[in-house]
Structure 1
Amino acid sequence: MTIPRSRAEFFVEPERDSRFTGPATGGERPMLAAFLTDHRATLELKCAGLGPELARRSVEPSTLSLLGLVRHMADVERRWFRQVLAGQDAPPRFSSQGDPDGDFNGARPDDPAAVEEAWEAWRDEVAFATRFVAEAPDLDVEADDVWRGRVSLRWVLIHMVEEYARHNGHADLLRERIDGAVGI
């Protein structure tokens, strides 16, 4: 007899899962940073063990793929932490004015180097953002953004948690389509 599976099952055994173990009380910065770290780890987990199949697209005509999500989140991390908050001249790595969806459009299975490049870019941007958050004097650091106007580091952290949470939902469905893996 086959035991029915639940979508709420874990992708990894609960005793081996280090996600979502951050502080539930105490300071706001450690709590927000931990949630963001956990959502980043979730994206990595949803992509674990895959190679070129990361570029498999959801359904036509969509260009949504796990590889596209990694590339997209590298650009999102870069935008908010390098461009907006740190004020660096750091153009997106994968999208452009000519191809605003280049993060997804360029995620092609016929380019094996694309997977490594995407993970390297994402890890570089996560490392920069992590340092920026740790070194900021407080969560009230502010900068101007062409889309939102004046934003604080606090707002960016909350927005990043929301951005990852939304895209991790997409990653759940994309991973299930690739190999049937489900879970949180």
Structure 2
Amino acid sequence: MTPSGRRAEMFVPVERDPRGLGPATGDERTLLGAFLAAQRTTLELKCAGLGARLAQRSAAPSTLSLLGLLRHLADVERRWFRRVLAAQDAPPLFSSPSDPDGDFTGAVPDPAVVTRAWSAWRAETAFADAFVADAPHLDIEGHDSWRGTVSLRWVLLHMIEEYARHNGHADLLRERVDGAIGL
């Protein structure tokens, strides 16, 4: 790979970046939603076009992979929006008490596993987006066994932080898979 320009310009050309600039003004719900959407889109960009190569691990003995991150974030979305805020009986899709790291250990290079992960992630993000849009305000609350009482506002901020942290991992994982770098 020949170095060129800024790292940010090497992955997706600015003119084709689906994240755009996003709003810089507006109400809190709009801004939080836009920041979360941009983080989700970043994960999609990092995973785009890899198919079963999403399962490639970072380095032994780690089980970290882009597919694992996708499965993990589907379960994180499910936890906060379905279980905590909507109070649904929605157990994790990819991990369990007997396999708490199943989101990563089960991320194998099988097209059916990849398809299921994308379907689950898209379903969970769609549910979350609808939940946020229908919520009367950001102060609605849910109960979580880890944090106690949390508001929708807190969950949105936490989700932005969660994606931002894992998108940093995704940067390195994608570069390892095929050399693609940038935002």
TM-score range normalised by the length of the shorter chain? over 0.9
- In structure 1, the residue matched to 2:126 is 127
Contact 1:73 1:122 in 2 (8 A): yes
Shift of the alpha carbon at 1:23? 1.6
- In structure 1, the residue matched to 2:111 is 112
CA distance in 1 between counterparts of 2:97 and 2:77 reads 18
Shift of the alpha carbon at 1:21? 2.5
- In structure 2, the residue matched to 1:53 is 53
Contact 1:8 1:183 in 2 (8 A): yes
CA distance in 2 between counterparts of 1:63 and 1:155 reads 29
Q: Report the AA paired with residue 97 of structure 1.
A: P
TM-score, length-scaled by structure 1: 0.95
Contact 2:69 2:104 in 1 (8 A): yes
Listed as ranges, the gaps of 5+ residues in structure 2 are none
- In structure 1, the residue matched to 2:73 is 73
Q: Report the AA paired with residue 17 of structure 2.
A: D
Shift of the alpha carbon at 1:11? 1.8
Aligned CA-pair RMSD:
1.2
CA distance in 2 between counterparts of 1:152 and 1:78 reads 16
What is the correspondence of 1:84-103 to structure 2 with a 5 Å cutoff?
Answer: 84-103=84-103
Return 112-121 or 9-18, whichever deviates more: 9-18
What is the correspondence of 1:1-184 to structure 2 with a 5 Å cutoff?
Answer: 4-109=4-109, 111-184=110-183
Compared with structure 1, are the counterparts of its residues 59 and 172 closer, same or farther at alpha carbon in structure 2 (3 Å cutoff)?
same
State the secondary structure of the residue aligned to 2:158: helix
Q: Percent identity?
A: 71
CA distance in 1 between counterparts of 2:3 and 2:182 reads 15
Compared with structure 1, are the counterparts of its residues 3 and 105 closer, same or farther at alpha carbon in structure 2 (3 Å cutoff)?
closer
Compared with structure 1, are the counterparts of its residues 19 and 63 closer, same or farther at alpha carbon in structure 2 (3 Å cutoff)?
same
